[in-house]
Structure formats: C-alpha cells, structure tokens
C-alpha cells in the first residue's frame, strides 16, 4: 500500500469532503445550477417559440434555424457544407436574453444591498442617539435628586437635607 500513499484518498479525506459537501455553499451552488438549467430551457423556448418564428416569417417564410449559406452542395460522398448563421443568431439572441436577465438581477441585488447598508447605518445612528439621550436623562435625574456624578472616582454622597424650620 506504500505505493498508493497520496494517490488513494484516505478516510479522513473522505470525511473532510463529506463535511464540505454538506455545508451550505455547495448546496447553494447546486440549487443555482438547477435553476440555471431550468432558466436556460425557458429562454430557449422564448427564443425558439416566440421570437424566431416571426423573424423567419419576415425573412421569407424560412425556419430561422435553417438559415444558412451553402458553401458546397451535398454530393453522393459528402453532405452539404454550409455556414449556419440562423443557429448562430439563435445562440446570440439566447445569450442576450440571459445576459440582460443576469444584469437586471445583479442590479436589483445591488440596490437591496445598498438599502440594507443604509438601514444598518440608520440603526447605528438611532442607537447612538438613544444612548446619548439615556445618558442625558440619567444625568438630569441624578442632578434633580442631588446625586453627584461619580465617574471621576470620587465617592457618591447623598444630598444634605435642610433642617425643617420651626
């Protein structure tokens, strides 16, 4: 087994991989991939079933995917050689839709993140204002009941009561 040391994974490596795979990052990535595949199918349907048929009709009632420049017609030994620009344009349209969608999602996420940052800043300011007000009110209360501030290290002395006059 000495020959295979470092090549075959050890049980510790398998355990470490299992812990990594169970963490949220891998699960989140898996969900993202599944949603991406589903989204791609939806975009393909939009392009192939909704956008391209009217374009093909405008271009001479030819199915858009079949648009091509024939470089060499088919012979008995070789099939047709052509540049299939219809398929390329189809891929470009799909890419554009996906890129636009991702751009919009990222833009929305950035706005949400900015809003969260502003809320956190506001919460910090409110917390500071409340702390300042509490300290101010606490000082006023101490002053009214006659307790001296002892933050300078001196002892707290109760207020002197005046003798009632008779």
Residue 43 has pLDDT above 60, yes or no: yes
Residue 62: half-sphere exposure toward Cβ, Cα within 13 Å: 10
Per-residue pLDDT band at 1 (split at 50, 70, 90): very low
Within-domain flag for 162: no
Mean pLDDT, residues 35-62: 82
Mean pLDDT, residues 27-55: 83
Within-domain flag for 128: no
Residue 134 has pLDDT above 80, yes or no: yes
Residue at token pair 């374009």: 55
Within-domain flag for 132: no
Residue 109 has pLDDT above 90, yes or no: no
Higher pLDDT, 43 or 1: 43
CB 51 within 8 A of CB 65: no
Higher pLDDT, 14 or 46: 46
Mean pLDDT, residues 72-77: 87
Residue 51 has pLDDT above 70, yes or no: yes
Cβ-based neighbour number of residue 57 at 10 Å: 12
Q: Specify the CATH number for the domain of residue 98.
A: 1.10.1200.120
Within-domain flag for 139: no
Count of the separate structural domains present in the chain = 1
Within-domain flag for 85: yes
Joined together, the tokens standing for residue 10 give 């050890």
Within-domain flag for 57: yes
Structural domain boundaries enclosing 98: 10-113
Within-domain flag for 119: no
Residue 113 has pLDDT above 70, yes or no: yes
């Amino acid at each position: 087994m000495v020959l295979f040391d470092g090549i075959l994974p050890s049980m510790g490596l398998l355990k470490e991989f299992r812990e990594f795979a169970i963490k949220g990052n891998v699960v989140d990535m898996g969900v993202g991939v599944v949603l991406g595949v589903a989204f791609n199918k939806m975009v393909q349907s939009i392009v192939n079933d909704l956008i391209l048929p009217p374009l093909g009709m405008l271009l001479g009632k030819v199915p858009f995917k079949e648009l091509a420049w024939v470089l060499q017609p088919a012979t008995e030994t070789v099939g047709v050689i052509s540049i299939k620009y219809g398929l390329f344009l189809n891929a470009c349209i799909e890419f554009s839709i996906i890129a636009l969608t991702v751009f919009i999602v990222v833009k929305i996420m950035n706005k949400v993140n900015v809003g969260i940052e502003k809320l956190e800043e506001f919460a910090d300011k409110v917390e500071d204002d409340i702390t300042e007000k509490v300290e101010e009110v606490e000082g006023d209360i101490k002053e009214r009941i006659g307790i001296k501030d002892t933050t300078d290290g001196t002892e707290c002395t109760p207020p002197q009561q005046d003798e009632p006059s008779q």
